[in-house]
Structure 1
């Protein structure tokens, strides 16, 4: 076996098929042909399909010959140049070139005869242009054969049948049948097929238009049931801008089919709208790769959802701007353009004018269309260009885009119907520089971090007020963009990636169509930012249940909600693991102690090498106020009703008295200290008698005096011993047995938990290094202001970690 022969000599016919397409630049000279042949031997299988364009500038040469013949210009010299180029390719590439040269000479003689006709009609011109692909396929098949790979050249006109002259529509059913029959005995051969050409039912040659070979490739892949199409070209794929103009342009390694279709519609030279059409219904991956660096990274299209953040700047020059009077008739004409095969880059209007921008290649056909529809009073401008920006979250860039082009265009910025691109009409001579400026502005812009608030109640609104004061300061301090992009309430969420004005969010909420809670993760996952931070300031179990999805979507979390931190241990550990696996952060310092740095202190002790052994405290500002003011001079129930009237308690005071909230807080502190507990591992003593726990609120308040005897007796018993009654949450691992409980305790008056400041929380932390003299943290542990401040503190610290 020759060392150049592929180690894969044969493959089962049912093995996955890859189609390789090579453009003219990949076949520009003998070295290119050798490179392509070697690439197929290394990266392909014998049963794969190959589609080729005409070599180098052959198609342009053939078109020039046709034009010269039609104008009566002597074309003999140009024909000899073409002959010399094609013969040189054959002679340098093949050891035994005679058979191929003989066929080439016969075809060149026939071509010369065609050009001598008095008129070169449409179909004859197509046959002349088709020669380029025929020569390429035959030569490449011969080169492969000489390298030891059995190969055959196939003229696509043998099976590809279409109707229509200007933009042929392929009969897929008939073409598939004829392709299957044609290839029945050729499945073990490398089938090298002509691109760009097909035929009609009268056997007249048709061409598939601009980038027709790419369209041939995806179409034939569909007919053959191929799984992958590799379009090999002189660039490694789709870039963030034209790499020939902008050195900083970066390769975009993944594009959704929708993004690729939009980019093709906008006139990107790497892709074409028709190329992508066969992929729409089939699970075929399209890869754009460089034949010059086949092992380098490439662009893959089609096998994922739309991605955000990989912006693509596209500048289109070879276009024409048509303007019309903004009449009803012209509006109807413009609306129907796509149905008639025209895909405008831009449709816009200003004042009393409609504007339509089309690629120059369709202008003659478009003007025929206008004449047939009796369009009047239109003007054409060929001295314009279009700058477009494509991204799955492109709406975020509207302000930046409009700002850059405010003085460059007389036309408004246009957001595409699918929401994937922004475009603006500019002078043609400014296209390159404006594309460069836009690309530089986007890719050198500060880090962008979006903030989504879930829970716009009292605390949420307080945080919004605080954020309004701090937003600009944070942006300037960290050199970043920090827009508020979502506000969630019970009936849904307002989401706007272009940014929500804090003082206008309520009005915007009332006029928008809220995103349902079931769709919020999908919506947030499509954000266009470097990072997205979700603030959970709700008490919603449904939102807590979405934490795994939010983390898998790459969102960071800040929780004031205690439900996740005190959830079943398996869920809690899953959240921790998902945050780690997805390189996300989950901060929840506001869930215990509001603005007090209790969780920060625990983590600081752990980071310093210390070990937390016990924590105790009064974790309720409401209970601090009650016990500090209760002296048995009045019934406990009257003091409770006074606290309710002052707004110190929860709307239902039993939420304060039951101990459940303190039990959850203690569980969070214990877990943060390193203990794996379930909520049920913490014993709880409710201050609410059993007969009062499940009755309506009004009835509870009316019967609250039933607590008085218990509280009075507790107070008197403690007082007789010089002690006080407190509602204490604690865990202790310093002895032989781990203990955790929440309930009433009597404490010496000199105890740190005995001296309470009304509405404060007190935390006592004992560790290996803080034994006899515990670390004490005291201060307001509840309230809108301090909780909002804790959330803002977490936000500040999270931003620092992300930069």
Structure 2
């Protein structure tokens, strides 16, 4: 004997019902079958809405009856060819009775629980009768109304089952019934007076479990529109997958915390008889689904992650509670009297406070009555007034084997902390089947995805990037990421997605990831942007492992870093302005990064893609001390002076450098030495020294007039004007067999930058193209400095440096 239950989505229309009949037909060839069906689609909701409308306007209620009737008659027309008239008459009779009830509601202006139960019962009465008659044309079937078998008390909307009488009724009926398939409606029952009652939320599942237990069924199958219980809600966590096997206790924990394919009371009757429950998909019947049993196959410590939203946290606290018995009793007694369900409980070991989680719509009532209960203690200031926190959610990690695995709670809270998910309260039973935490509701999606990645996707880490600036560097960065996407996934186990892109005018976002083959067209049609709007959108999306990428040289963008870091959003930047700003701001950004566990990486601030800052950090962190730094840090200036001679003009070489992407958009930043000064300042600070930009001595070779120009055209005009001066500088160096290099030096806690004549025996002499070179003199590298040399400018190498920082975050 098997019991098969089909939910509302499985019987929403005639096409779906045909699938149900095919499943039942196949199952009935092996054993006798009891089929429990829900109402068609949203019929129960529509019936109750009609009853409420009947209080105000009977005509609206009548219209709703006609809408419901139309659906049922359409299904009859499409499914039943024989005995149609008898089916029509029965269904029409039920709708006439429903109309009489609505008219009674309108006339009496009264809608009691008893009447609501009667109204809501019509959905299952209709669906089970129609489906049974459709089945009769295909295989041996009969129909029975479940309210004639399931006996309850008189709590009309959430009735308690009298299992003694119910089990006798069910066994007597099935023992005397020879049909292969019996179709029954779920959800509905009756009291001793034969008045209709209902089994409450999840009542059809509960009905199925009642029948399965009474009949000692071989298996209870719950057919729905998903292929089992998932590791997390698949509409929120796209990577969630169906759990093959799970224990009764694990299933109860997950269903209690919001896994909607199954309701907790459903499991109880089957659990007592140890009847296996299988969750199956009506639309993918070949899928094995999830098997719930007493001895599931062990597969991982954590079986699933679930959550409940719209939770309020009620806190009772005060020094007057310590050592005084009875406070907990009075708290729970008051909530019980008001029929307020407690979902979550935690108490400080000092007895100073008790926190309970309840549904948000009960919070105001709970506070009112608890303040009354403890009014004397509150008035005497022994305890504080009841404190209520709203807009919360409970997230739960569930697994029966968790108690045998150390460190799971540590992994859970560490992962949440890294993503700035604030924990308001924690509960863990001594059985260790469940670790629950109360968090802000807005963080629920991020928390679910974070924990799912932690416990189920450890091989693949997802990074969500938000990119500002898609000029030379930004465009190359996106191209490199597009090219390497599969490589990163296969070899580094990183799934890197671009969720947002902005330039100075437009921005676009896609929570599923922006196509890197079409982002330019999408951005052209994007919405207007601002730095603040982009930041607010990143916050609103609230993804785990989020990283803000700054490919600009913009001061206003740099000023936003602290805001991102405070949201635990990592920052990767080639923009030197932030790290070369005031020492206070530099230290503040570092501090915020540590406090909020948000990476702040800026390798490309010095040397583009060269590992200069990373090497320096490793030296300092390993205990080495930096005494002196000598460097050529401007790829653009090195390119300029390597290509400038008596056959060229200084202006033409600078224009070429700008064209090839070696300079900033404003080339004066490079040629004035400001850019190099910022770089040596950053290296000095990363070495542990406290310097400001004004402490760097800048020996500029540019004429004052050139430095004071306000636009690029004026700047280039001034370079042409002073061509003779630049040629003199070149000739002077050449006459000494020297080459011109713009050198940055840090020694004795002081720094300077300027153009120098480099002799042939110096390491800088043969530095070609746009290459950079850095010499670190340290305790360990005292005589022969540590040397780093390579391409130090250009969009491609800068983009690769940004890319490398992103990978560092992914590998952390």
Q: TM-score, normalised by structure 2?
A: 0.49
Q: TM-score, normalised by structure 1?
A: 0.50
